[in-house]
Every structure is written in structure tokens, then in C-alpha cells.
Structure 1
Amino acid sequence: MHIQEHIITNIPVFEIKDTFEKVLEFFQDTTYSHVAIVEDGRFLGVFSENDTAALLPSTEIEQFRYELEGFFVRRDTNWLDVLESFARNEANLLPILSEKEEVLGYYDLSDIVTVFIDTPFFTDPGSILVVATGINDYSFSEIAQIVESNNAKLIGGFITDTQNDVIQVTLKITTNNYNKVVQTFRRYNYHILFGNSDDQFLEDLKDRSDYLDKYLNV
């Protein structure tokens, strides 16, 4: 997947020798979280909009040299790593550096999310299934095997949460044999957190519960 076509080249970078006057204007005129700071054309770091609250326009950027954040991506960084960098740094703008540490441009978070949404995971027909298991038990190859052993196809999957030694994986699978896939995951001790297709297991429980209610009311 090529995301280089989304490189933005008309967003400014600022020299460390400058004052914050134009930086403050930039943040006032946009909704971006960060902007790149350079020294003699070479990347030094990014300055955060969160740090502008008490700044005067006449303040020199040089005074904040050691408070700049150092995150960036390269032109050949793949789109998943770009997304991860956005998330890890709580940013919506990422500078892209050349091998000479020059700023080639930026990625805008909304553009990269659009690329993600256009992947087959979202565009191809199928059903969403969210499963959870222990981190030490997690195996994506096992997940794929469970899906495919029931004559279904795994369209895509990714880790959507990790906490308290439990990993959550969101899957998209073809709709054929969906309920068999769900039941097999249960047999392998996966917790089913979400499914957007009718789950026969839950339907059976509901039917049995309804039957029991009727029996007790006789």
C-alpha cells in the first residue's frame, strides 16, 4: 500500500533561530498537534501545541531546544508503522524525514486513516468478530487455523487492545460457517467479545431459557 501520495508539502517548518510568533499563528490557524523545528535545514524535533499556553510571540524557539519531541517517520515507513507513530505520540501530524534529516513534508492523520478505511478489511463483505485470550496463549497462526478449519476465510485481523495480560483481537471473516467459527473459538477457550452475525450459541441459550421459563410457569 502506497501512502507517499499523501505527503503534504505546504505545511511549514520553523527554524530554531526564529521566535514563536509564526508558530503561534500556525497553531491558531490549524488544528494540528505538532510542527517541525529545524536548524540549518536539519530536523531537530517537533514542538507541541500543548506547550503554547504561556508563550509570548517574542519568545525564541531556542529556549525550548531540549523540550522538543523527537518523533518522525521516513518516506519508506509502512502505513501501519505510521499509524502506530500517530497513536504512540498522540499526534495528528507527523514529519517525514529524508536520509539527510531534512523534512520532506508531513502526514496528516485523517489522510492515513482514510487509507486504512479503504483496505479490504473494511471494504470487502464479511463479519466482524472480536476475541480475547491471554497474552501468553496468543497465536495469530492458531486464530487463522480456527477460521480456516471451518471453511471460512480470514479477511484481516489486528490487535485492538492489550491490558492485564489479556489481548483483544478484531477479526473480519467471511460469513459462511460464522457460527461454527465462533463455537470453535469457544472450544479453544477464547472469549467472544463481539460478533456482528447471529451467534447460534447465544440463540440456543435464549431458546433454552425461554423453554425453562415456560416449564417453570406450568
Structure 2
Amino acid sequence: MVAKELISALIPVIHPTDSGAQALGLMNEFHLSQLPYVMDGKYVALLEEDDILDWDNPEILFENIPLNAFKPAVNEQAHIFDALKLFYEFKLCLLPVINKEQEYTGVITRENMIATMAQLNAVNEAGGILVLEIEPRDYSLSEIARIAESNDVTLLSVNTFSNPATGKLDVTLKTNRLELQSLVATFERFNYIIKHLFVEETGEDVLRKNYDLLMNYISM
């Protein structure tokens, strides 16, 4: 997935003939603290609400104000991980997207980015989550996948995190199964350390819990 596939068509831009007050009004309307400044179709800067609030006169037009050089952007053909990196690095609420001619093509909103990352990591899919703690030199995705397949478990997503406190990798496996005890046992048999196990409740589990709560309430 590339950046241009995440563009939101709803976010306005600021032009040189707009005033600071107009920009603040749009930021308030769209619940944003940043908006792109575009001149002749070119992306010029990312305007910050706090900077405009510091103006002595918010009615001044942008064409009469020297702008800061804050200009984060991502190419429309870049992978979404490049966009995610900029969101994280600059704490953005939106990220302008440009083409190879530096022309403005739109923005990616933080909400779009979060929704896309959720889809990529299958967070809406039913299934348990298993976190392994592994020495970096011992990490083998092919072996992990083979162990999962031997238990008839499909890995919907795999994420790794280098834990600075331990120097080890936390490998998070999102699976398609709600019951993972057999998979856990197999990993332990291969000397894997199970750091965390998160299993969603089935409909039957939820029904039983609600029934028990009702019975406890009636007996009070």
C-alpha cells in the first residue's frame, strides 16, 4: 500500500490570500492543529495553530507573513511505513502528500493512518495473540510459521519490537484461533519463551460470565 491510497479528500488547504483567522477557523471546524499551505499547486509549508495564535493581527494574509520552514511531506508513491515514520517523528495530525514534481496531491490524516495500520495488523479479526521473547540471533520467522502451521494456526500478522530493557525481540503473533494452548505447548517444546498470551472470549464464555453475574446479583 502506498501513500496516495490513504489520501483524504476532505481536508482544506490554506492559500496566500487567506488570513490567519480563516486558517484558525478551518482548523477549529475540522478539529485539526495543522493545515497545509499551498501556493500555485505547490506544497509550501505545514501551518501550525500555535504559530498563528501568536500573531498580533490574525486578519493579516499569509502572503504578507514570512512562514516557518516546517515542511514534512511524503511522496505519493512511498510506502505507508514511510508516512508512519513521519507521523511518529514529528507528532503530526496530518501529513501532506506530494508527487515527484513537488505538487500537492492531498493529505493523510492521523485517523486514516491508524485505521490502515489496524487493517494491516488484522486487529478486527477474531483470534488470540501470542507474544514470544526471543534472542535476536535466534529469530526465524520461517520456523515460527512452521510451528504455527503444524498446529493448524494461521498467522494473520507478525510484529517485532526490539526491547531496549532486555536486548531481546518481542515477537507478537496475531492468529486466527481463539484457543492457543496447543500452540503454546508446541512453542515451549521448542524452548520458546511465552511472554504474553491474550485470548479473546468466545460467545459462550461471555454468556456464561453474564449468567454468573446475574445469579450473583439475584442471590444478594
Answer yes or no: same fold by TM over 0.5.
yes
Number of residue pairs matched?
Answer: 196
RMSD: 3.4
What's the offset of the Cα at 1:179?
2.0
What's the offset of the Cα at 1:101?
0.8
Give 1:25's aligned amino acid: G
Alignment-derived partner of residue 66 in structure 2 = 63
Indicate how the Cα distance of structure 1 residues 73 and 188 shifts in structure 2: closer, same or farther if over 3 A, else same: farther
Indicate how the Cα distance of structure 1 residues 151 and 5 shifts in structure 2: closer, same or farther if over 3 A, else same: closer
Cα distance between partner residues in 2 of 1:58 and 1:162:
50
1:108 is the counterpart of 2:109: yes
Alignment-derived partner of residue 167 in structure 1 = 169
Alignment-derived partner of residue 14 in structure 1 = 14
Give the TM-score taking structure 1 as reference length: 0.68
Identical-residue share of aligned pairs (%): 24
Counterparts of residues 128-207 of structure 1 (less than 5 Å)? 128-159=129-160, 162-164=163-165, 165-175=167-177, 178-186=180-188, 187-196=190-199
**Which one is further off, 183-192 or 100-109?**
183-192
Cα distance between partner residues in 1 of 2:118 and 2:23:
32
What's the offset of the Cα at 1:3?
7.3
Counterparts of residues 9-88 of structure 1 (less than 5 Å)? 9-15=9-15, 19-56=19-56, 57-58=58-59, 62-66=65-69, 68=70, 70-88=71-89
Cα distance between partner residues in 1 of 2:148 and 2:49:
45
Query: What are the Cα deviations for residues 96-155 of structure 1, in whole angstroms up to 9, with x where unaligned?
Result: 112211111112222343344445823443221123334454443343233234442212
What's the offset of the Cα at 1:37?
2.3
What's the offset of the Cα at 1:176?
8.1
Give 2:191's aligned amino acid: Y
Query: What are the Cα deviations for residues 192-218 of structure 1, in whole angstroms up to 9, with x where unaligned?
Result: 2232169xxxxxxxxxxxxxxxxxxxx
What's the offset of the Cα at 1:16?
5.9
